Amino acid sequence: PARGPGDLIEIFRPAYQHWALYLGDGYIINVTPVATLASAKSVFSRKARVRMQLLKDVVGNDTYHINNKYDSTYPPLPVEEIIRRAEYLIDQEVSYDLLGNNCEHFVTLLRYGEGVSDQVTHLLAVLREPPDQGTACKLHGHSKAPGAKKAIGAIGFVTAAAGAFSLLGLLHSRSRERQY
């Protein structure tokens, strides 16, 4: 389907999905890590900058698709309101938190007025399951191995995600700083 202003764009990175919101004319809005003296020392950053960029530059060699997956749960705000809210935040610094305030939370808050992230919900559900139960992974439609294999798989996913985000300077704890 054709992209339209206010659409959510899911970008498939090697270890995670990055999310952006389509503004129109080839441009998106997304959050990117802020390099500060403190984050340079620790690799962990607590802030992100809201940036307007060309979709093709953000995607690079990765793949993407339009994914307004929450439209049946949360009614989208009017497109004009989504774009107005997005444009207001361009070049602003916002708090960032992998589990509670990430790039998917950011764009869903703009589109729906509600920040949600299936990636986080799914990961937390896997980690909460008893280790001896084999259950189907709802997000990807495959079976999780029971017991130790499932725990190792979840730990591996967390490690890969944490490594990817820390390399980008995105992983950090919740902050009391300005929220969007």
More confident: 77 or 46: 77
Residues with a known catalytic role: 18, 103
- Six-digit token string for 9: 């764009």
pLDDT, tens digit (0-9, with 9 covering 90-100), for 44-57 = 568 899 999 999 99
Three-state secondary structure call for residue 40: helix
Mean pLDDT, all residues of the chain: 75
Q: Looking at the DSSP assignment, which residues form a beta bridge with residue 115?
A: none
CA distance 116 to 114: 6
pLDDT band, very low/low/confident/very high, at 32 (cuts 50, 70, 90): confident
Three-state secondary structure call for residue 145: coil
Q: Are strands 27-33 and 136-137 parallel, antiparallel or unpaired?
A: unpaired
Three-state secondary structure call for residue 96: coil
- pLDDT of amino acid 1: 56
The shares of helix, strand and coil residues in the chain, as percent rounded to the nearest 5, are 35, 25, 40
pTM score > 0.75 for this model?
Answer: no
Q: Roughly how many angstroms between the first and final C-alpha of the chain, as a whole number?
A: 29
- In this structure, the dihedral spanned by the alpha carbons of residues 7, 84, 99 and 118, taken in order and rounded to 10 degrees, is -30
With 0-12 CB in 10 A as exposed, 13-18 as middle and 19+ as buried, what is 43? Answer: middle
